[in-house]
Amino acid sequence: MPELPEVETTVRGLTPVLSGQRLTLVEPRRADLRKVIPVDLRQRLTGATVKTLGRRAKYGMIDTDRGDTLIFHLGMSGRWRVDPDEEEKHDHLVIETEGGRRLALNDPRRFGFLDIWRSDSLADYPPFAAMGPEPLGPDFTGLYLDSVLEGRAAPIKAMLLDQRIVAGLGNIYVCEALHVAGIAPSRAAGQIARARLDRLVIAVHDVLLAAIEAGGSTLRDFAHPDGQLGYFSKQFLVYGREGEPCGCGGAVKRRTESGRSTFWCPRCQR
């Protein structure tokens, strides 16, 4: 599933194509993906000019001069194709700009979705309303984690994946950040000292920024809008490396909980 770095990479790839452009065609090719596509999406966006593009957690946002924002989620296999040579079966939304560019949102598994919301009330958009701070934003600090995790017996990994605690973190990058910070994923969140939480915040920042710089991780079907594949997977320290040596001399372990794999090194993560 595309995670925060993949969505950030996608938004950055779409920005030079869409920013400042008037949308001359906005054409959903089906009535629904994971959710029903708003019936007025075409009407509200056709003829609008794109002001800015952004991201909230794992959601991409395209803001227009009409006060409407197109919100997209890539689901398991979604990706935007820019200036495709030909249409594909799973191109479920097609956009054309006054500048002659063409984009297609392609999603073979249809786990993604499209929505539209008023730009001045995005904080009230239901999926956003209960979210915690952005992990790359100024509000995500060791002090914040110390406060919100106080008394919590749940494992730190589960807390980092809870979107109410921090928005947008996914399994891959939580495994990697916990390893960089030297914290066992099973450690009770409320028992981690403030100094270690400070290091964890830095680790989250560093891992996410490195992944964005590398264009994300190519797992299964994800690719950038220009068709290039991310290569951060080549830098994984623990994720997907069960049985391989850790840099500390230990060996990477894996366990599965609720269908999700956790990778860690018992020797250097405590």
Positions marked catalytic: 2-3, 58, 260
**Distance of alpha carbon 19 from alpha carbon 154, whole angstroms:** 43
3-state secondary structure of 202: helix
Among all chains, which residue has been given the structure tokens 């993604």? 112
B/e letters for 41-63, b = 16+ CB within 10 Å, e = fewer, are beebbeebebbebebbbbbbbbb
113 and 153 Cβ atoms separated by less than 8 Å: no
Give Dmax (Cα) for the chain: 59
Q: Quickly list H helices, 99-193.
A: 126-129, 142-148, 156-161, 171-181
Which residues share a beta bridge with 4? none
Q: CA-to-CA distance for 147 and 1, rounded, in angstroms?
A: 30
Range list of β-strands (E), 57-194: 59-64, 68-73, 79-82, 91-97, 102-106, 113-118
